[in-house]
Amino acid sequence: MKKILCIALCVVMLVGGLTFAGCAPDASLSKYTIAAEYDPEAETLTAQMQFDYYNATDNEISVLPFNLFPNAFREGAAYEPVSSVYHSVAYYDGESYGSITVNSVSGCERWEIGGEDENVLFVYLAESVFPEERASVVIDFSVSFAHVRHRTGVTEHVVNMGNFYPVLCAYDEATGFYECVYYSDGDPFYSECADYDVSLTVPAGYIAAASAEGKTAQKDGKVTYRYALSSARDFAIAVSDGFEVVSRQVNGVTVSYYYYDDGEAQNTLETACEAMAYFAETFGDYAYASYALVQTGFCYGGMEYPGMVLLSDGLERENYLYTVVHETAHQWWYAMVGNNQQEYAWMDEGLAEYSTVLFYEAHPSYGKTREELVHAALTSYKAYYSIYSQIFGQSDTSMSRNLGTFISEYEYVNLTYNKGVLLFDTLREGIGENKFFSGLKNYFSSYRFAVAKPEDMVACFRKTGVDVDGLFDSFVLGSAVI
């Protein structure tokens, strides 16, 4: 996600019946098959999801926990999904609430909703699933959308359907399933790759942008979009009856820009295409057949999903293009190479931000230099450190931290984005150009479609023949004096 902050802040069920050409499911992945319909008058989504679970762990599994992200928007939620800094921008129509309702779960012994904030659906299987075995459950659910410029919500022009379905909690062999808490700072998501078959029905006249290209069928005044996506960390959709679309092919990938208020749409698309081409050449090939950029109401700068990103219509032109590049970088650092964003947000945000620096350095026609961008990050970070040291007497500058421990958005941005830029630029200076880019390519190829931890990233750079442990530790643990 891209957040634009300034120093003043501190101041019909189709389960099993869909086939898709070109889809190559992975036999060792779980699979989501979702059939949904959106009613714009009621502003609700009704859906049925068949989840085919593949036990890729070394343990017996008897309970499947699913994150229920839309519940963060319900009235009375323990954690506000939007910080006070962005509250008035996000809730453009006054206070508004949304939620996800689980109507039934079949194929299991029983189910219940729990977690720290009614944020997890626990499905108790009738029989345990052992390693390399499968189990299947069907979940009927509905989502009501708040009027909010956020990942999941009705905005003035677009309905954002990010994180709209029950998502299986990611599994760690040491700690088990990880339940995500929807903190307002950062991206409170952590999931593993799966295969997707998704259908969405909307009234005729509505256009849907999604994490994959859709095939359409019309009947009785409605249009159904059908999608397939393999090895994806999640799946998102955005719908509107006011979209215009421009598209272009880049290295065999269809890049499409969905917009409603952009007099320079072709230029926006060109920037996205340049970023796609540059990152593919620099890090490794893009994995999916399409990439969609969506202009929408959004209280932050942008938000990434596999194959699709949201871009805030409230950004000025320069920041808008910067966000296009940053969110495109997330297709490599988040969508393809995953990490636990609740614990190690700097791994994807810091690297996506530094990848943006790399893009501008390689494309001088945009008028931004590496030196300028790194200096801006340093200036912001030093200002943060000075301010927080004066207020609190000291400042915790460690980077690997749970999102819930950040005092503010300002602290989060400086320790994940800005300090991340400084970390990677210092690393580049220290080990040299060839080894730096070799390490990035190694990191990408080693953890493509997987989940990386900080030690995994460090090991990829260590393979270049340089001891980088001390440098990473000094930044990540907070001992470096910057």
Going by C-alpha positions, the residue among 89, 69, 321 that lies closest to residue 187 is 69
Question: Are the C-beta atoms of 35 and 141 separated by less than 8 Å?
Answer: no
Do residue 141 and residue 259 come from a single domain?
Answer: no
Q: How confident is the model over 383-406, as a mean pLDDT?
A: 91
Give the model's confidence band at 444: pLDDT under 50 very low, under 70 low, under 90 confident, else very high.
very high
Number of other residues whose CB lies within 10 A of the CB of residue 17: 11
Q: How far apart are CA 273 and CA 324, in angstroms?
A: 10
Going by C-alpha positions, the residue among 162, 144, 145 that lies closest to residue 154 is 145
Which pLDDT does position 8 carry in this prediction?
40
Higher pLDDT pick, 160 / 15: 160
List the structure tokens of 79.
Answer: 């954690």
Which pLDDT does position 5 carry in this prediction?
55
Run of H or E residues at 272: helix 265-282
Domain count, the chain: 3
Which pLDDT does position 99 carry in this prediction?
98
Residues belonging to the chain: 482
User: Any idea what the Cα angle at residue 332 is, between residues 328 and 382, rounded to 5°?
Assistant: 75
The values of phi and psi at residue 325, to 5°, are -70, -45
List the structure tokens of 255.
Answer: 């890049």
**pLDDT tens-digit map of 104-139:** 999 999 999 999 999 999 999 999 999 999 999 999
Which pLDDT does position 404 carry in this prediction?
96
pTM of the model: 0.94
**pLDDT tens-digit map of 9-41:** 443 333 333 333 334 455 789 999 999 999 999
List the structure tokens of 66.
Answer: 């699913």
Q: pLDDT exceeding 90 applies to what percent of the chain?
A: 91
Give, rounded to a whole angstrom, the gap between the first and last alpha carbons of the chain.
25
Do residue 297 and residue 381 come from a single domain?
Answer: no
Structural domain boundaries, residue 120: 25-233
Give the residue from 272, 302, 336 where a domain finishes. Answer: 336
Across all residues in the chain, what is the average pLDDT? 94
Which pLDDT does position 18 carry in this prediction?
37
Q: Where do runs of H (alpha helix) occur along 363-418?
A: 370-392, 409-413
Q: Is the pLDDT of residue 380 over 90?
A: yes
Give the model's confidence band at 206: pLDDT under 50 very low, under 70 low, under 90 confident, else very high.
very high
Do residue 155 and residue 282 come from a single domain?
Answer: no
Which pLDDT does position 394 carry in this prediction?
77
Which pLDDT does position 173 carry in this prediction?
87
Q: Is 13 inside any structural domain?
A: no
84: DSSP letter: T
Give the residue from 169, 199, 233 where a domain finishes. Answer: 233
Q: How far apart are CA 449 and CA 462, in angstroms?
A: 21
Do residue 253 and residue 209 come from a single domain?
Answer: no
Going by C-alpha positions, the residue among 43, 26, 8 that lies closest to residue 450 is 26
In 3-state terms, the chain is what percent helix, strand and coil (to 5)? 30, 30, 40
**pLDDT tens-digit map of 294-333:** 999 999 999 999 999 999 999 999 999 999 999 999 999 9
CATH number, domain with residue 212: 2.60.40.1730
CATH number, domain with residue 390: 1.10.390.10
Q: Is 5 inside any structural domain?
A: no
Do residue 72 and residue 207 come from a single domain?
Answer: yes
Q: Is the pLDDT of residue 6 over 50?
A: no
Which pLDDT does position 16 carry in this prediction?
37
CB burial of 58-71 (b: ≥16 within 10 Å; e: otherwise) equals eeebeebbbbbbbb
Question: Are the C-beta atoms of 60 and 130 separated by less than 8 Å?
Answer: yes
Q: How far apart are CA 155 and CA 164, in angstroms?
A: 15
Which pLDDT does position 25 carry in this prediction?
52
**pLDDT tens-digit map of 161-178:** 999 999 999 999 889 999
Which pLDDT does position 189 carry in this prediction?
97
Do residue 404 and residue 318 come from a single domain?
Answer: no
Positive or negative: CA dihedral 341, 344, 349, 352? negative
- What single-letter amino acid sits at 20? F
**pLDDT tens-digit map of 58-102:** 999 999 999 999 999 999 999 999 999 999 999 999 999 999 999
Q: How confident is the model over 417-444, as a mean pLDDT?
A: 98
**pLDDT tens-digit map of 268-286:** 999 999 999 999 999 999 9
Do residue 45 and residue 146 come from a single domain?
Answer: yes
